[in-house]
A and B are shown apart, each in its own frame.
Chain A
């Protein structure tokens, strides 16, 4: 059975994956001087508050 391609969903997925890949390479690269491991502890602090 042929599955109809949802082009809108496909385009959205492509954009999401591009953002993740580019964002990851930029934010978490060892060459990025702002790449500190404080993020998770900051997140935990927010969750403790709720």
Chain B
């Protein structure tokens, strides 16, 4: 059973919340909160989540690699450690391409692998040999926390740990009410609106030309993905709140994004933040150290931007639709970055000139909406001309 995909999950979640409240009012011990959350997540992982052994073995492997590279090898360059940590995911994505090796891929793969990989990498990059050794209980608790285990939102270890440290203080009537509201909102998005879009728009047979049919499918997929994913995220945040953890928000009206950067602050925001902190910034720093690029800030920024989104595409998988979709997001970002750079240099809007700002906003939203819908359509693998 995957989180938030059927009625049975909500029954399990209700029992988990009830148990948490029973522990809170029976024992009244702050330290018990951490172990209760871990216990509940472990019960779900072992008895309900598909392939529990895979997920636990992978976390064990990640912890071992983390310990080895941070406290034993102690090299400044984090790349070998990142490669070691993501090796199982790289193998899964590489094997899935060929039909002969896809069986190996499905044998070692498990749901949520990419998301757990995101989180183990960020803990690794942020750790130094001077830090206290990573607590395995906290590590496991963070990685298997049920509401976010499958597809995020991508939480941060230190933020999650600060919620854990406050104990049962976060488990109260206000957080319960706010959480319930978010879950109801998520149910409406995912099970009603996304399902309706899927049945009566995305998968409806419309006998028009291939181009018009693709265009229709492109918009339908964008709305479907948003409703499904935003609904899932709202439920994850809601259940997190009920369990006393403030999971970060993931969506904020992405259809109103004015440019590619703004889009990643609104659509799957936690991924956007992750890409900025752990892909873009290190790449930009790397290019800044190159002599040839020192006097070319725009080229440095654009190279880092393009590679960031290309890596994002590769992270999803090595299929051409993921790579092209990532590259397209990279091209949009570097074009927008060049536009902002030129505007700053010329001290005027080099594209829209003195056009009415409201009209500029409307045009920007229209362009961003369509180009992002196109990239996500390619990402879906449904684009017929590829």
* In the complex, residue of chain B having the shortest beta-carbon distance to the beta carbon of A37: B6
Contact between chains at A46 and B225 (CB < 8 Å): yes
Q: Is B184 an interface residue (CB 8 A)?
A: yes
Q: Which of B184, B199, B229, B316 is the one whose CB lies under 8 Å from A17?
A: B184
Contact between chains at A42 and B184 (CB < 8 Å): no
| Contact A13 B181, CB 8 Å, known A19-B192, A23-B193, A50-B114 | yes
Contact between chains at B317 and A49 (CB < 8 Å): yes
Q: State in angstroms the CA–CA spacing of A50 and B114 once bound together.
A: 7
Q: Is B195 an interface residue (CB 8 A)?
A: yes
Q: What's the nearest-Cβ distance from chain A to residue B197, in Å? A: 11
Q: Is A2 an interface residue (CB 8 A)?
A: no
Q: State in angstroms the CA–CA spacing of A39 and B339 once bound together.
A: 42
Q: Which of A23, A42, A47, A48 is the one whose CB lies under 8 Å from B196?
A: A23
Contact between chains at B188 and A20 (CB < 8 Å): yes
Q: Is A7 an interface residue (CB 8 A)?
A: no
The binding surface of chain B is classed by DSSP as helix
Contact between chains at B228 and A34 (CB < 8 Å): no
Contacts of B228 on A, CB cut-off 8 Å? Answer: 43, 46
Cβ < 8 Å to B, chain A residues 18-50 = 19-20, 23-24, 27, 34, 39-40, 42-44, 46-50
Contact between chains at A50 and B115 (CB < 8 Å): yes
Q: State in angstroms the CA–CA spacing of A40 and B190 once bound together.
A: 11
Contact between chains at A47 and B150 (CB < 8 Å): yes
Contact between chains at B184 and A47 (CB < 8 Å): no
| Contact A19 B198, CB 8 Å, known A47-B2, A49-B317 | no
Contact between chains at A44 and B111 (CB < 8 Å): yes
Q: What's the nearest-Cβ distance from chain A to residue B192, in Å? A: 3
Interface string of B300-317 (1 = CB under 8 A from A): 000000000000000011
Q: Which residues of B contact A (CB under 8 A)?
A: 2, 5-6, 111-112, 114-115, 150-151, 181, 184-185, 187-188, 191-193, 195-196, 198-200, 225, 228-229, 316-317, 322, 379, 381
Q: Nearest 3 pairs between A and B by C-beta? A: A23-B192, A40-B5, A47-B151
Q: List 9 A-B contacts (CB under 8 A).
A: A19-B192, A20-B184, A23-B192, A27-B192, A27-B196, A34-B200, A49-B317, A49-B379, A50-B151
